[in-house]
Amino acid sequence: MAGVYSVRFFVAAGSGIVTSYTVPAGRVAVVRSVVATSTVGAAAFAWLYIGPTPIYYLSFPEPGSARAVEMRQVVNAGEAVRVYTSAPELFVAVSGYLFSNAMSGQVQGEVTREALAEGAPLPA
């Protein structure tokens, strides 16, 4: 398929650092893989964000810990993929697909949200 290819968006590293990738205009990204390892001598963690929303928390309780997460998170043109890393020897690689798409943006339709009483069944 023309206009579709795999890409490593970035490798995040550092203590208290946020690494970001903003999807260019006319493109749609799909975060497919997050692979991380910690060689720091203490517990560490990382957060993956899509836009302003935290999507995934990665915990590294001991040195030598590693995580591999597969997902399919869509990131529209102008939105950012970000990773916060808590330790200097914590490395997080984010990769996926970058699509050429003249129709990038939100899917047409209506999204609603309403509060429900805890434990209540969904309305029909």
Mean pLDDT in the chain? Answer: 86
112 versus 45: which is more confidently predicted?
A: 45
- The answer to the question of residue 109 being in a domain is no
pLDDT (0 to 100) of residue 4: 61
Q: Residue 28: which domain range?
A: 4-100
13, two tokens: 């590293």
Answer yes or no: is pLDDT of 99 > 60. Answer: yes
Looking at the structure of the chain, the number of domains it has is: 1
pLDDT (0 to 100) of residue 104: 46
- The answer to the question of residue 115 being in a domain is no
- The answer to the question of residue 118 being in a domain is no
Cβ contact 68:6 at 8 Å: no
Per-residue model confidence as pLDDT tens digits over 13-63: 999 999 999 999 999 999 999 999 999 888 999 999 999 999 999 999 988
Secondary structure (H, E, C), 7-70: EEEEEEEEEEEEEEEECCCCEEEEEEEEEEEECCCCCEEEEEEECCEEEEEEEECCCCCEEEEE
